[in-house]
Amino acid sequence: MTLITILCIYTAFLIFISYMQISFLKKEKEKQAVILEESDYKNAADIAMENEKYKIFSNFYNLIINISWIAFGFLYLKEIFIKENSTLENTLFLLTFLVIISILNLPLSYYESFIKDKKHGFSNMTLALFVKDSIKSLILMLIFGFLIIYALVFCFEFFSTYWWMVAFILSFTIILIINLIYPTLIAPMFNKMKKLEDENLLEKITILMQKCGFSANGVYVIDASKRDKRLNAYFGGLFKSKRVVLFDTLLNALKEKELIAVLGHELGHFVHKDLIKTLSASALMLFALFFIFAHLPGFFYIESHLDGVNAGVFALLLIFGNIFTFIVSPLLNKMSQKNEFNADLHGAKLSSKEDMKSALIALAKENKAFVKTSKIYTFFHLSHPCIYERIKALQ
């Protein structure tokens, strides 16, 4: 019962944060609108409250699923797969667990895409595309999931006491490889990616990158609008695989000066070496995570029926790892928020403060994002400061 109690306390705290955020939004909604026009301001508050209510439901839903795994799910899989406790048996055990989790999460994904987001005019998702994406994700999980899980279980079996150090190195290497290949191999599996055709804009973006010493193998536009109308842009990849990726929704919604300011912000992350900082923080967190789960008390395995299962530590990590991440999230969020403020200032220097402010307001308006958040919500959940604080910092 100890493990179930831990999960219940964690979920109760998440629901409490959402409840506090909803109370904050209700009060702010009745105040005079700031940054956005009044109708947009109130609509964004309503959407934010609905998102928190959905989050409460999804947290409770995940709690029920996790309790089910602890109470009887792992025991059932153990009886099916674990006969000789071989590497292959443990790999199939953990892979089946991941596949079942993915299937159980499909109703939430469906509701979010076809009901919640369509209601507010965000989602362009079709049933055919949803099924296609789900099948692609499942295939990728089966192929790469099998290989990664097999390697991790092998580390546990072969390296004895120090298995977690080798597993950490392997896991972090995989993270680096994913960052390296994402814009060139993974993203194109889900979105059509083509080079920016606007020569005038391309020239300005190239000049912007040259000012910052940023070299990329191209500026690309992806057809994000086929799934979602929200705006975004990112600099993806590492080393020679670096790409500037613009959502087609961003190109259609922002003025040229605002777009330059947004890209100036993203280049600010490069100039300030934020990617290196983030990867370093991730490495430290991953190291601590493997260390903690390599030294779990025995009752974790007994209560979850994972005693005698070599892959048990990884199953527990997948269920309880979020709690560790949640505990350290305030430190990571604080670092990330500082990086965002500095990147905004960099974007303002490359364009102007007015252009940066105008871009932030346009992003908030088009994404229907409420411009304020409660302190407790910001502390635990926000890697980016709210728009209100970002604009205030620019001023």
Active site residue 89: no
pTM score: 0.90
Reported as a single tens digit per residue, the pLDDT across 184-200 is: 778 788 888 888 888 88
Reported as a single tens digit per residue, the pLDDT across 338-383 is: 999 999 999 999 888 999 999 999 989 989 999 999 999 999 999 9
How high is the pLDDT of residue 204? 86
CB contact set of 182 (below 8 Å; sequence gap of 6+): 236, 237
Active site residue 258: no
Q: Is residue 241 part of a domain?
A: no
Q: Is residue 231 part of a domain?
A: no
Residue 383 contacts residue 357 (beta carbons within 8 Å): no
How high is the pLDDT of residue 198? 83
CA distances from 51 to 101, 164, 312 (A): 22, 37, 34
Reported as a single tens digit per residue, the pLDDT across 120-168 is: 888 899 999 999 999 999 999 999 999 999 999 999 999 988 999 999 9
Annotated binding-site members: 265, 269, 340
The mean predicted confidence, pLDDT, of the chain is 91
How high is the pLDDT of residue 240? 67
**Owner of token pair 């899980």:** 149
Q: Is residue 211 part of a domain?
A: no
Number of compact structural domains in the chain = 1
Catalytic residue among 274, 344, 355, 389: 344
How high is the pLDDT of residue 243? 75
Annotated binding-site members for Zn(2+): 265, 269, 340
The C-alpha atoms of residue 148 and residue 95 are separated, in whole angstroms, by 10
Residue 49 has pLDDT above 90, yes or no: yes
Reported as a single tens digit per residue, the pLDDT across 15-44 is: 999 999 999 999 999 999 999 999 999 999
Q: Is residue 205 part of a domain?
A: no
Residue 216 has pLDDT above 80, yes or no: no
How high is the pLDDT of residue 130? 93
Q: Is residue 111 part of a domain?
A: yes
Catalytic residue among 28, 89, 266, 355: 266
Range of the structural domain that residue 366 is part of: 1-192+270-394
| Highest mean pLDDT of the ranges 81-90, 211-220, 260-269, 349-358 | 81-90
How high is the pLDDT of residue 238? 67
The C-alpha atoms of residue 76 and residue 74 are separated, in whole angstroms, by 5
Residue 237 has pLDDT above 70, yes or no: no
Q: Is residue 228 part of a domain?
A: no
Q: What percent of the chain has pLDDT over 90?
A: 69
